[in-house]
Amino acid sequence: MLRFIIRRLLQLIPILLGLSVLLFAWLRALPGGPAQAALGERATAEDIARYNELFGLDQPLYVQYLRFLGRAVQLDFGTSNRTGRAVTTEFLERFPGTIELTLFAMVFAIGVGIPLGYLAARRYGGFLDSSSVIGSLLGVSIPVFFLAYLMRLVFAVELGWLPGSGRQEVRIDATRITNFYVLDGLMTREWDAAWSAFVHLILPGIALGTIPLAIIVRITRASVLDVVNEDYVRTANAKGLATATVRRRHIIRNALLPVSTTIGLQTGLLLSGAVLTETVFAFGGVGSALRDAITNRDFPVLQGFILMLAVVYVVVNLLVDISYGLLDPRVRVR
Amino acid sequence: MPTSAPVLEVEDLAVTFSRKGETPTRAVDGVSFSVAPGETIGLVGESGCGKSVTSLAVMGLLPPRGVRVSGSVRLDGQELIGASDRMLRRLRGADMAMVFQDPLSSLNPTLAIGTQVTEVLLEHRDLDRKQASAEAVDLLDRVGIPDPGRRLKEYPHQLSGGMRQRALIAMALACSPRLLIADEPTTALDVTIQAQILELLRELVVGSGTALVMITHDLGVVAGLCDRVHVMYAGKIIESAERHELFARPRHPYTGGLLHSVPRLDAGRGARLTPIRGSARDTIPWSQGCAFAPRCDNAEDDCLGDTVPLEVDPAYGTDRELRCRHPLQPARVGAGTSGAGVARAATGGSGATASGPGR
Ligand SMILES: Nc1ncnc2c1ncn2[C@@H]1O[C@H](COP(=O)(O)OP(=O)(O)OP(=O)(O)O)[C@@H](O)[C@H]1O
Ligand code: SF4
Ligand SMILES: [Mg+2]
């Protein structure tokens, strides 16, 4: 198992190196280069030359790349063109919001999706089954952006049941410790702050969770249908095990293997920033930060955020593989 | 022939599969047999003749929907057809157990062997985990798995095919069942391993007074293990006889065909095997006569029309039953020598099968 993990960690290195080259090349390839981007349209040629000298942009490309890499390894991606603050600081402020949102969305998708998929399979061909198949088809095909907009309109604007923008009510002067607002509220015993942060997760979380939900329902259903016909389930029944034991130990356990992979992949995707959903709900996570960075041509932020999110994505996938190895002994040995 | 009360009595068992929009298929049709303690019977026949469905019906393991089962299955006198799921689960694994054909797919790939052995013990016997593990080590040891303590922690894919089947046998024998059904337990294994597994079954099952139903299309298995043989064709028993009798003097043309398609040690090198012509698909419904007629060399006009009944064979005592209007005459198969030859060839692990040329 340890060897497996180490091997997977080593595999990360070329992936991240490749990505850093791409990002580096992308920034250099911009018209006017980073200097123009940082100084704006009206910068004079002298300004640009001074800037280039200051940041070593007059050096050969490989020297520039190695410097970039050296700083990136220390998580130094420079400062935001817009706010002048360190990119890493901005990331640490924004990312906890996205993590909270992702957790909410995935808990929703898993909590609803697995039981629904299981029941659909057990009632194969019945009403619940057909509706879940159609529902999950709708779920994956409705644009999240549209769904988010609709949910906000109905439940926040029209009905006013739930908050439709931000991460917390503005009037609450909450203490920030980890930037996980719900967690901070719990840690400082500012219950109203925690509660407010939590209810702010509901609408964007559900909107974001629909695609994972639809996929989880579909995969759970297909997987259960496969597993119930397996010979080892017949063996389990031939042993006279109680129905509940057969179900839990032999059917669900094996049926969830493919589901666990899906959960991991979807978590990775959501963590890398739900630009559209966060924008609709003005939710201050990395998704809306990316959107702002794009509109403002804030390249240091884009570069740093993308690279850090890539690391997150790859690490999440590694965790998925490891957990799969723990769940399925056949993978472990290989 | 054991005389004590039978462990298993199957009477007029019929199984019909019916799916919406399909014509119902009668996979098992009026099958009756019984097994006494310590006795081994063989259910023999080509692929698709209904052997597995018969055994699943006995165990109550047929799918709950789309299947109609009728007749009677009694385990120690207790009726199982129509019994509650609860009662069946109490009996399965404890009083009746089953070993299946493919040991790899029959084991749960994500559970350690130990878990899969102890779960039967914990379900049916009043043991705590520690006692169950100790018992599991003991069981694996008895079925000939070396280093059982270590094997218990391993997973099915880490064991060889023979070891997996031994583990499955250990699970089946865990609660010393009264009845064991083995559905082609050696088909998926190498020839040398096949012989070992059969030997193990003979030792553990037959030695302990357990009734054994051996399902196979391998006449070698029958010759080496079974006391009594029931030959099945298209869902019905077509001949029942004591093993030596059957090998020495097959009466049904189908049985004769099966024996002829087995390599014989006493025949010269050039001797040809004569497979049964046609395939199991060339059949007519029993209601229109003898299902074997399209492939039968003895067939005559009176073989068609109405169902040929299974009757006590007039030429031999009450112990043989036969479903044929024009049976083979013993001389025609070369009474004695041929049967013994087959038996010997078969026990030698020749891998002889009852399959037609279509396979
Ligand atoms: N679940 C099912 N649904 C419909 N028909 C079935 C089902 N299971 C078995 N049958 C039919 O019942 C008949 C007997 O099948 P069975 O599995 O008992 O054959 P078998 O004698 O065990 O053959 P084999 O040697 O291939 O195992 C077959 O013709 C098959 O088509
Ligand atoms: S009844 Fe007729 S067709 Fe059927 S096996 Fe006997 S001789 Fe052949
Ligand atoms: Mg079978």
Domain-embedded: residue A145: yes
C-alpha R_g of chain B:
21
Q: Tell me the pLDDT of chain B averaged across its residues.
A: 85
CA B30: distance to chain centroid? 17
Nearest to A286 by CA among A299, A276, A297: A276
Closest residue by CA, ligand 1 atom 7: B17
B141 has a chain A CB within 8 A of its CB: no
**Which of A48-57, A181-190, B52-61 shows the highest mean pLDDT?**
B52-61
How large is the average pLDDT for residues A135-164? Answer: 87
Query: How many of the other CB atoms lie within 10 Å of CB of A155?
Result: 17
| Amino acid B94: pLDDT | 93
Q: In sequence order, what are the beta bridge partners of A57?
A: none
Q: Is the CB of B231 under 6 A from ligand 2?
A: no
Q: What share of chain B is helix, strand, coil (3-state, %, to 5)?
A: 35, 20, 45
CA atoms in the 13 A half-sphere facing the CB of B129: 2
Reported as a single tens digit per residue, the pLDDT across A95-134 is 999 999 999 999 999 999 999 999 999 888 888 888 888 8
| Amino acid A145: pLDDT | 85
Q: Is the CB of B325 under 6 A from ligand 2?
A: yes
Domain-embedded: residue A34: no
B88 has a chain A CB within 8 A of its CB: yes
Atom of ligand 1 nearest to the CA of B51: 21
How large is the average pLDDT for residues A315-326? Answer: 82
pLDDT of residue B356 exceeding 60: no
Q: Which of A102-111, B256-265, B290-299, B326-335 has the lowest mean pLDDT?
A: B326-335
How large is the average pLDDT for residues B18-45? Answer: 91
pLDDT of residue B101 exceeding 80: yes
Inter-chain CB pairs, A–B, below 8 Å: 83
Closest residue by CA, ligand 2 atom 6: B324
SS3 B331: helix
> Which of B65, B110, B125, B153 is the best residue to mutate to test the A interface, defined by the most A CB atoms within 10 Å of its own CB?
B110
The CATH number of whichever domain residue A227 belongs to comes to 1.10.3720.10
| Amino acid A61: pLDDT | 81
Taking an 8 Å cut-off on Cβ atoms, the answer to whether B97 and A243 are in contact is no
Q: Which of A76-85, B167-176, B286-295 has the lowest mean pLDDT?
A: A76-85
How large is the average pLDDT for residues A7-17? Answer: 83
SS3 B140: helix
Judged on CB neighbours under 10 Å (0-12, 13-18, 19+), B151 is: buried
How large is the average pLDDT for residues A37-52? Answer: 77
| Amino acid B181: pLDDT | 96
Taking an 8 Å cut-off on Cβ atoms, the answer to whether B110 and A329 are in contact is yes
Sequence-distant (6+) residues with CB within 8 A of A227 are A233, A250, A251, A254, A255
Residues lining ligand 1, judged by CB closer than 6 Å? B 17, 25, 27, 45, 47-53, 217
Strand pairing of B179-183 and B96-99? parallel
pLDDT of residue A247 exceeding 90: yes
Reported as a single tens digit per residue, the pLDDT across B225-256 is 899 999 999 999 999 999 998 998 899 999 99
Domain-embedded: residue A244: yes
Q: Is the CB of B205 under 6 A from ligand 2?
A: no
Taking an 8 Å cut-off on Cβ atoms, the answer to whether B89 and A327 are in contact is no
- Tell me which of B53, B99, B186, B218 to substitute to probe ligand 1's pocket, judged by most ligand atoms within 8 Å of the beta carbon: B53
Q: Which of A259-273, B108-122, B340-354 has the lowest mean pLDDT?
A: B340-354
Smallest Cβ–Cβ distance between B91 and the set A234, A240, A249 belongs to: A240
Cα(B231) to ligand 1 centroid in Å equals 16
Q: In sequence order, what are the beta bridge partners of A76?
A: none
Q: How far is B241 from chain A (nearest CA, A)?
A: 29
Nearest to B111 by CA among A319, A229, A330: A330
Contact criterion met (CB below 8 Å) for A182 and A198: yes
Cα(B47) to ligand 3 centroid in Å equals 7
Domain-embedded: residue A50: no
The Cα-based distances of A23 to A28, A85, A191, A245 in angstroms read: 9, 21, 42, 52
Q: What percent of chain B has pLDDT over 90?
A: 54
Smallest Cβ–Cβ distance between A238 and the set B85, B93, B111 belongs to: B93
Contact criterion met (CB below 8 Å) for B349 and B220: yes
How large is the average pLDDT for residues B100-106? Answer: 92
* Angle at the Cα of A15 from the Cα atoms of A13 and A19, rounded to 5 degrees: 115
| Amino acid B342: pLDDT | 44
Smallest Cβ–Cβ distance between A240 and the set B93, B100, B158 belongs to: B93
Chain B residues with CB-CB distance to A1 below 8 A: none
For chain A, what is the domain count?
Answer: 1
Atom of ligand 1 nearest to the CA of B232: 21
Cα(B24) to ligand 1 centroid in Å equals 13
Smallest Cβ–Cβ distance between A234 and the set B61, B112, B124 belongs to: B61
Query: How many of the other CB atoms lie within 10 Å of CB of B24?
Result: 12
User: Which B residues 157-216 touch A at CB under 8 Å?
Assistant: 157-158, 168, 171
Q: How far apart are CA B61 and CA B210, in angstroms?
A: 21
Nearest to B71 by CA among B41, B38, B34, B29: B29
pLDDT-derived band at B220 (thresholds 50, 70, 90) equals confident
| Amino acid B338: pLDDT | 42
Chain A residues with CB-CB distance to B120 below 8 A: 239-241
Reported as a single tens digit per residue, the pLDDT across B163-195 is 999 999 999 999 999 999 999 988 888 888 888
A231 has a chain B CB within 8 A of its CB: yes
In this structure, what are the phi and psi dihedrals at residue B297, rounded to the nearest 5 degrees?
-75, -25
| Amino acid B337: pLDDT | 41
- Tell me which of B31, B46, B49 to substitute to probe ligand 1's pocket, judged by most ligand atoms within 8 Å of the beta carbon: B49
Domain-embedded: residue A30: no
| Amino acid A302: pLDDT | 86
Domain-embedded: residue A132: yes
| Amino acid B355: pLDDT | 43
What range does the domain containing A320 cover?
Answer: 87-333
> Which of A235, A253, A256 is the best residue to mutate to test the B interface, defined by the most B CB atoms within 10 Å of its own CB?
A235
B123 has a chain A CB within 8 A of its CB: yes
Q: What percent of chain A has pLDDT over 90?
A: 31
Cα(B353) to ligand 1 centroid in Å equals 18
Q: What is the 3-state secondary structure (H, E, C) of chain A?
A: CHHHHHHHHHHHHHHHHHHHHHHHHHHHHCCCHHHHHHHCCCCCHHHHHHHHHHCCCCCCHHHHHHHHHHHHHCCCCCECCCCCCEHHHHHHHHHHHHHHHHHHHHHHHHHHHHHHHHHHHHCCCCHHHHHHHHHHHHHHHCCHHHHHHHHHHHHHHHCCCCCCCCCCCCCCCCCCCCCCHHHHHHHCCCHHHHHHHHHHHHHHHHHHHHHHHHHHHHHHHHHHHHHHCCHHHHHHHHCCCCHHHHHHHHHHHHHHHHHHHHHHHHHHHHHCCCHHHHHHCCCCCHHHHHHHHHHCCCHHHHHHHHHHHHHHHHHHHHHHHHHHHHHCHHHHHC
Taking an 8 Å cut-off on Cβ atoms, the answer to whether A238 and B108 are in contact is no
Chain B residues with CB-CB distance to A254 below 8 A: 108-110
User: Which B residues 48-87 touch A at CB under 8 Å?
Assistant: 59, 61, 85
Q: Which of A161-175, B26-40, B83-97 has the lowest mean pLDDT?
A: A161-175
Taking an 8 Å cut-off on Cβ atoms, the answer to whether B120 and A249 are in contact is no
End-to-end, the C-alpha distance of chain B in Å comes to 36
At which residue do the structure tokens 């996980």 appear? A180
pLDDT of residue A241 exceeding 90: yes
| Amino acid B98: pLDDT | 95
The Cα-based distances of B210 to A43, A249, A273, A310 in angstroms read: 95, 29, 65, 63
Domain-embedded: residue A76: no
* Angle at the Cα of A166 from the Cα atoms of A161 and A170, rounded to 5 degrees: 90
Q: How far is A236 from chain B (nearest CA, A)?
A: 9
| Amino acid B270: pLDDT | 54
Q: How far apart are CA B94 and CA B91, in angstroms?
A: 5
pLDDT-derived band at B3 (thresholds 50, 70, 90) equals low
Provide the whole-model pTM.
Answer: 0.81
A43-80 burial, b at 16+ Cβ within 10 Å, e below that, comes to: beeeebeebeeeeebeeeeeebbeebeeebeeeebbbb
DSSP string, B220-278: HHHHHH-SEEEEEETTEEEEEEEHHHHHHS--SHHHHHHHHTS--SSS-TTPPP-PPSS
| Amino acid A48: pLDDT | 80
pLDDT of residue B93 exceeding 70: yes
Q: How far apart are CA A157 and CA A164, in angstroms?
A: 7
Chain A residues with CB-CB distance to B111 below 8 A: 249-250, 253
Domain-embedded: residue A33: no
Taking an 8 Å cut-off on Cβ atoms, the answer to whether A330 and B107 are in contact is no
SS3 B214: strand
Taking an 8 Å cut-off on Cβ atoms, the answer to whether A231 and B102 are in contact is yes
pLDDT of residue A325 exceeding 60: yes
